[in-house]
Structure 1
Amino acid sequence: MRPHVVAQLAVSLDGVTSGFDVDLARFYALASLWQEDVTLIDAGTILAQENAVLAAPRRGPRAEGPLLAVVDERARVRSWDSLRELGYWSGVLALYADQTPERPPDATTRELITGYDQVDLVEVFDVLGRRGVQTVRVDSHAVLRTCLGLDLIDELALLVHPVLLGGEPWYDVHRLNLRHAGTEVFKDGVVWIRYCVAT
């Protein structure tokens, strides 16, 4: 059975995902409520933070933490050891496709290969489910868009910030069938809205 897949986004009132300050401590404290078994992210998100990852203290894998799975079709991520040692995750898993470039012969990162030139997320979730994974939390806009297009998201939380930016909205919400699951309002005007996504 495929895992329960959840995602959380920080957005403006008009659905933009950047250009405003986000309280990251609150964002990740709320995200931790799902107690995911796997955190799913894309290589672009890792590469955007690579310098910080490489400079961060290495506390070692957190045995009770989730597994970090990274969609990396072009094998661009090189900081696997640093990611593994950050102290947030129990380990790392590289998600590759058949046409992903060859990795160094001494690479020790666990791999899951699905799809031809792109990672097949449907198969990824099937494999994870067979391995006992119950909850996956998507922590990347690019992966979230793909998952929504494939009807793979079960639960969506929006951390809505009281700003209007006039940029590109994160998704065509008219295509989503959402059922309200809860709302919480914070003192600074940020609203946390949770939805179940009906297919």
Structure 2
Amino acid sequence: MRPHVVAQLAVSLDGVTSGFDVDLARFYALATLWQEDVTLIDADTILAQEDVVRAAPRRGAREDGPLLAVVDDRARVRSWESLRELGYWSGVLALYADQTPARPLDATTRELVTGYEQVDLTEVLEVLGRRGARTVRVDSSGALLRASLALGLVDELALLVHPVMVGGERWCDTRRLGLRHAGTEVFEDGVIWMRYCVTSGR
């Protein structure tokens, strides 16, 4: 059975995901409410923070934490050990495709290979479900989230809407999505947390 898939992202009033300040402590405190079994993230997000990850204290794997699964079609991530030891996740899983470049022979990171040129996200979720995952949180505001929505894989979407106009490319054309309102919370600084059930992804 496929896990329940949730996604949360911070956006401006005009639907842009960058160019404004986000209270990350609040963002991730809200994200913990889903108690995900797996955090699904893409290589670009990891690579953008790789220097910070490598310099961060190594607290050791968190036994009761979620599994970190990283979509890495081109085998670009190298900081697996640092990610494993950050203290947020119970372990890491590299998601590769058949045509992903060869990894070092001494690589110790667990792998799941699906798809030919690109990771097959549908199969990934099916495998994770068979392995006991009930909730997967997509930690992305870019291509991974858009692909997941296009494939109809996201069940729940939360938007932290910030009271700023940024200008630029919108993160997604939500007119293509069937969204059913599930709740709204307004914070003192004007940020609005809006939650939706996704009834259609195509």
1:129 maps onto 2:111 in alignment: no
- Aligned partner of 2:118 in structure 1 is 118
- Aligned-partner residue type, residue 30 of structure 2: L
CA separation in 1, counterparts of 2:174 and 2:138? 18
Deviations 1:100-154 (A, max 9, x none): 0000000000000000000000000000011110000000122111100100000
Q: State the shift of 1:60 in Å.
A: 0.1
Runs of 4+, deviation exceeding 4 Å: none
Listed as ranges, the gaps of 5+ residues in structure 2 are: none
- Aligned partner of 1:37 in structure 2 is 37
- Aligned-partner residue type, residue 177 of structure 1: G
- Aligned partner of 2:163 in structure 1 is 162
Q: TM-score, normalised by structure 1?
A: 0.99
- Aligned-partner residue type, residue 43 of structure 2: A
Q: TM-score, normalised by structure 2?
A: 0.98
CA separation in 1, counterparts of 2:34 and 2:139? 12
CA separation in 1, counterparts of 2:90 and 2:170? 34
Deviates more, 1:134-143 or 1:112-121: 134-143
Q: State the shift of 1:99 in Å.
A: 0.2
- Aligned partner of 1:2 in structure 2 is 2
> SS in structure 2 opposite 1:112?
strand
- Aligned-partner residue type, residue 88 of structure 2: Y
- Aligned partner of 1:71 in structure 2 is 71
- Aligned-partner residue type, residue 106 of structure 1: D
CA separation in 1, counterparts of 2:167 and 2:107? 44
CA separation in 2, counterparts of 1:59 and 1:39? 18
- Aligned partner of 1:23 in structure 2 is 23
Listed as ranges, the gaps of 5+ residues in structure 1 are: none
Q: State the shift of 1:165 in Å.
A: 1.2
What's the % identity of the aligned pairs? 81
- Aligned partner of 2:107 in structure 1 is 107
Q: State the shift of 1:167 in Å.
A: 1.1
- Aligned partner of 2:176 in structure 1 is 175
- Aligned partner of 1:61 in structure 2 is 61
RMSD of Structure 2 on Structure 1 (CA):
0.4
CA separation in 2, counterparts of 1:165 and 1:50? 27
CA separation in 2, counterparts of 1:185 and 1:122? 34
Deviates more, 1:133-142 or 1:182-191: 133-142
CA separation in 2, counterparts of 1:133 and 1:29? 21
CA separation in 1, counterparts of 2:25 and 2:58? 20
- Aligned partner of 1:192 in structure 2 is 193
- Aligned partner of 1:97 in structure 2 is 97
- Aligned-partner residue type, residue 190 of structure 2: G
